[in-house]
Amino acid sequence: MFSSIPVLSGRTKATRKMVHKHGKSTALSCNAGSRCSLSAIIWSLAAWILLIHAYNTLTPSNSNRVESQVQQYRLSMYREHEDIEDRGFEVKQRGKKFVSPSGKQRGRRHTPIDDFLDVTSQRRSLYFPEKNLAVNPLKTEDSRKYYFYPGREWRDTESRPIQAHGGGIIYVEETQTFYWYGENKDGRSYRMHRKGTARVDIIGVNCYSSKDLWTWKNEGIVLPGEKVNKTHDLHVSNVLERPKVIYNNHTKQYVMWMHIDNANYSKASVGVAVSSSPTAPFQYLGSKQPHGFDSRDMTIFKDDNGQAYIVYSSEDNSELHIGQLTEDYKDVTKVMRRALVGEHREAPAVFKHRGLYYMITSGCTGWAPNTALAHSAESMLGPWETLGNPCMGGNEDFRRTTFFAQGTFVLPLPGMPDTFIFMADRWSPAELRDSRYVWLPLTMDGPADEPLEDDFEFPIWSRVSIYWHKQWKLPEGWNSPLPNQSS
């Protein structure tokens, strides 16, 4: 699992086919007209391997040192992974009718998802641990500091529960500071209709800052709701979800995009706000339906070259749309492509690894958890291939429900290639303010081991793996400059 460092080939299918073709013709030529000996070839290859190995051993590169640290980290995580809370979540009651609170039988079996959503369940503490187990930086003994506990309540430096749901993180390299933006849901939860749609009045977008990703300082509400003007997008009666922030190097502005809707989710738009500082109040610029289509769950992604993109669920959540943003990141261009058409995916979270693009998505089951899928493409605009369920560990119920959570963001770790943090929300629709965070290590574990369905060629992308841990921590010094890194 963590025992090897993957090396992803950058060759395309066409290149691989060319190599295969030329290799075949070379072998035929050797057998037909040359005096080459098979043993001589083998010994020559062995000599070259020994020379390369000796060179790498005597002149270790910075990348080798970095990858060595990552390998040691994965080995340690593998040992901790054996201590998974597994059986405690096996809550199936096979062969029994599910009895609703009213006492009526519904004629189907009680499932772990029913148990998860039932606020009266005796097993609710398995999914939402008691508040006396909260992760509190002010009251944690030294031996337990910097451990992540997925599903436990997480508190800030003022001992208050962190309210940053559906959010994302931006890293400011100059100050080596992370800023976490998310929905403040610390209000009363409302049920909109019998299907179970829940919401809270718009309070605003919270911002938290951290140097270590574990101790978070509340920087306050950087985009507040509107209490007076009922026609305003941010009026408390409306919906604000999934805020994401990126920095524009040319305009020197922080740009926030978010899902904007009305109470019955018929507005289906995106909103934009800007700020000159990661913690200063953002100025709201307005909303629109991008490219003229409905937009609900969404995210934005900034590429290495500064080009930014928006990804949003559209056509009643039946497909994803991917479009380029303008140079100032405040609007969309005319460039748009459809992805995962007819697949009914939402909650996109995009990241990049070794020149390829990856995305984690969720199914469309409201507040009920479902199976995550990983996707990959050679271009942000596609085409996108589906790789399968990236969730590893735990039991089957955990894997098929994304650990009873829904993804919101994938955070690359500075200085740790191939390693990311998968950020997800474990929603509590009956009391949204008590929704929890599920942060887990996401790693790129080498090339996929199955060929494409429509071809004999193997894909060029890596296997995406999100591992379940009841507790885990980042390696010591992960956010410090590596020794001799500048040499």
pLDDT of residue 18: 34
- Residues 48-81 pLDDT 10s: 666 655 555 445 455 455 455 555 554 444 444 4
Q: Which CATH architecture has domain 70-473?
A: 5 Propeller (2.115)
Nearest alpha-carbon partner for 20 in 446, 396, 458: 458
Nearest alpha-carbon partner for 469 in 434, 436, 442: 442
- Residues 196-222 pLDDT 10s: 568 899 999 999 999 999 999 999 999
Rg for the chain (alpha carbons), in Å? 25
Q: Are the C-beta atoms of 239 and 268 separated by less than 8 Å? A: no
Confidence tier at 416 by pLDDT (50, 70, 90): confident
Q: Are the C-beta atoms of 426 and 128 separated by less than 8 Å? A: yes
Alpha helices (H) along 89-198: 112-117, 124-127
Alpha helices (H) along 99-254: 112-117, 124-127
Region 16-22: mean pLDDT is 34
- Which residue did the predictor score with more confidence, 273 or 121? 273
Look up the pTM and report it. 0.79
Confidence tier at 109 by pLDDT (50, 70, 90): low
- Residues 258-300 pLDDT 10s: 999 999 899 999 999 999 999 999 999 999 999 999 999 999 9
